[in-house]
Amino acid sequence: MTWVLPTGEAELGHHDACARSRKEHTLMNKKTLAAGVTALAVVFTAAACSDSDTGTTAATSTSTSPASASTPTEQTAAHNDADVMFAQMMIPHHSQAIEMSDMILAKDNIPAEVSALAEQIKAAQGPEIDQLESWLDQWGAPTSMPDGAHDMPSMDEDMGMGMDGMSDGMSGMDGMMSDEDMQALSDAQGTDAARLFLKQMITHHEGAVEMARTEIAEGQFPEAVVMARSIVETQQQEIETMRQLLDTL
């Protein structure tokens, strides 16, 4: 026996089957799309991580590159004989200026302006001595000039050095006071002492300025050249101040 469905029921069954087929097809498309999106997300994430790692590696490589770093050996080597001589000569020169300043500060009846200048000289030149000694230590050089060093042509010609008297008050160095000069300052009192101090210190400063100019022209160590420029500027100003003070005494 063969059963025959009514026409309406047959059509309804056909429609239900089509609907289920479309629904299943849609679900499959959604799953496929979701899978595709997930795959793309994984790809982009991996790429971003790769870029980040590359950037970090590059940054690390750049930051640790030694190309621009200077070693202690390079810093020590960046000087020449002119730098060494400048330091060796300026140390005793500054030391005598401080000694002269101490002499005038120990006296009574010295004009306040002269005493203030002496304090200013000590405050400037004391730290410079420490710095000069530090450089010589870094360079492995002695703090005093060896015998015969005064024969270097550049210093003799530029500064008129005659260093044979170094052991006797170093009076051969430009601007340095002799033992007799220092004794005269020690013996002077009051206004006479102030005037003598100013006259002697003007000469002393002029010698330091010439030494500093030689370092500027011939030196190689950058910090020493900077100090030399500062000495020229500072001591020229003090020379002018001392000349003005002399006119008032």
Of 91, 70, 72, residue with least CA distance to 136 = 91
- Asked if the model's pLDDT at residue 37 lies above 60, the reply is no
The pLDDT, as a whole number, for residue 144 is: 86
d(CA 105, CA 237): 21
| pLDDT score recorded for residue 209 | 98
Q: Is the pLDDT of residue 238 over 80?
A: yes
Report which listed range, 65-79, 120-134, 172-186, is most confident.
Answer: 120-134
pLDDT bracket for residue 230 (50, 70, 90): very high
pTM equals 0.64
User: Which comes out higher in pLDDT, residue 232 or 72?
Assistant: 232
Mean pLDDT of all residues in 100-124: 98
Average pLDDT, the chain: 75
Over residues 220-229, mean pLDDT: 98
Contact assessment for residue 178 and residue 60, using Cβ atoms and an 8 Å cutoff: no
Residue 223: φ, ψ to 5°: -65, -35
> Is the pLDDT reported for residue 214 higher than 60?
yes
Tokens 């980040």 locate to 52
